[in-house]
Amino acid sequence: AARYAVFGQPIAHSQSPRIQAAFGRAEGIEIDYRAIEASPQEFAAALEAFAAGGGVGANVTLPHKEAAFALCATTTSRAQRAGAVNTLLRKGTRWHGDNTDGIGLVRDLTGRHGLDLRGRRVLLLGAGGAARGVAPALLDAGILELVVANRTPERADALVDAMSEPGRAISAYWEALREQGDFELIINATSAGRSDGAAFSLPLSLVNSLTTAVDLNYGEAAIPFLAWARAAGCRNYFDGLGMLVEQAAESFQQWHGVRPGTDEVYAGLRERAA
């Protein structure tokens, strides 16, 4: 039977096997989808072994998204702009790579949360793999301006350059965010909450009466940023669980040709997280 998997490190707490199994049950498709732990050194060989054993599709998560991009024979244009791949599809003897993170975020924001992104100013915090994964889709969703701020400014400049939309995607110094005005959407794509758990401190001037704050992390890792968002008076704030489910649905569709409903799976994960 066709096999599917998610590769990452760590991977034990990944929700992806649960999500893909639930989609499969709902759609009447039998799914063999496992979590495979691999270090950066092991990743390429683990993926080859998986293919040799009947693997035809995979998700890739931290820290392998850039390595997966490099391993693919072909990639979608959104994966190219992100420089990262989270969805692999076997084509003959090669891997084809896509990145569904950005469309997953946009679907969560516009579908589940009813946001209209068109004409909005968006602040993206962070310039690592997570930020690069979502930036192209945000621009494609018709936002007015994407301001990228990162602790290490050179990485924000590099991300903005990779978008090649001068004027619409711009970088800003984290220390000078106060000068950037306010935003309808603030996205935390840093790993700060995952690593040090320290409190977020951002200028209150970033927030207006419409501001939504979203953390691409979920669970404990999203707590510091969402605590800031709440204290700052953001109208709406939520973690990346919805994005996780939406990007998974997008991957499922590419592998199995049907788009699964996501509401039930999302509700189930929310309940477990509560």
Question: What tokens appear for 251 in the block?
Answer: 């991957």
Q: Is 218 annotated as a binding residue?
A: yes
Write out the binding residues for ligand ATR, residues 171-210 only, by CB under 6 A. Answer: 189-192, 195-196
**Does the protein bind ligand ATR through residue 127 (CB under 6 A)?**
yes
Report residue 75 CA to chain centroid gap: 17
Total residues at interface with ligand ATR (CB under 6 A): 17
Write out the binding residues for ligand ATR, residues 56-95 only, by CB under 6 A. Answer: 62
Q: Which is nearer to ligand ATR, 146 or 192 (CB)?
A: 192
**Does the protein bind ligand ATR through residue 129 (CB under 6 A)?**
yes
Closest by CA to 81, choosing from 124, 131, 148, is 131
**Does the protein bind ligand ATR through residue 130 (CB under 6 A)?**
yes
DSSP string, 217-266: S-GGGGHHHHHHHHHTT-SEEE-THHHHHHHHHHHHHHHHSS----HHHH
**Does the protein bind ligand ATR through residue 128 (CB under 6 A)?**
yes
The secondary element (H helix, E strand) that includes residue 47 is helix 43-52
Q: Is 240 annotated as a binding residue?
A: yes
- Answer for the pair 141, 106: CB distance below 8 angstroms, yes or no: yes
Helices (H), 62-191: 65-71, 77-82, 101-107, 129-140, 153-163
| CA 77 – CA 87 distance, rounded (Å) | 13
| CA 111 – CA 267 distance, rounded (Å) | 15
Q: How far is the CB of 201 from ligand ATR (least distance, A)?
A: 10
Q: Which is nearer to ligand ATR, 9 or 253 (CB)?
A: 9
Q: Is 247 annotated as a binding residue?
A: yes
Question: What tokens appear for 53 in the block?
Answer: 């054993």
Minimal CB distance residue for ligand ATR: 128
Q: Which is nearer to ligand ATR, 93 or 201 (CB)?
A: 201
| CA 80 – CA 62 distance, rounded (Å) | 18
Q: Which residues are catalytic?
A: 65
Among 3, 25, 34, 155, binds ligand ATR (CB under 6 A): 155
The annotated binding site for shikimate is made up of 14-16, 61, 86, 101, 218, 247
Binding residues for NADP(+): 126-130, 150-155, 216, 240
What residues make contact with ligand ATR under the rule CB under 6 A?
A: 62, 126-131, 150-152, 155, 189-192, 195-196
Q: What residues are designated binding site?
A: 14-16, 61, 86, 101, 126-130, 150-155, 216, 218, 240, 247
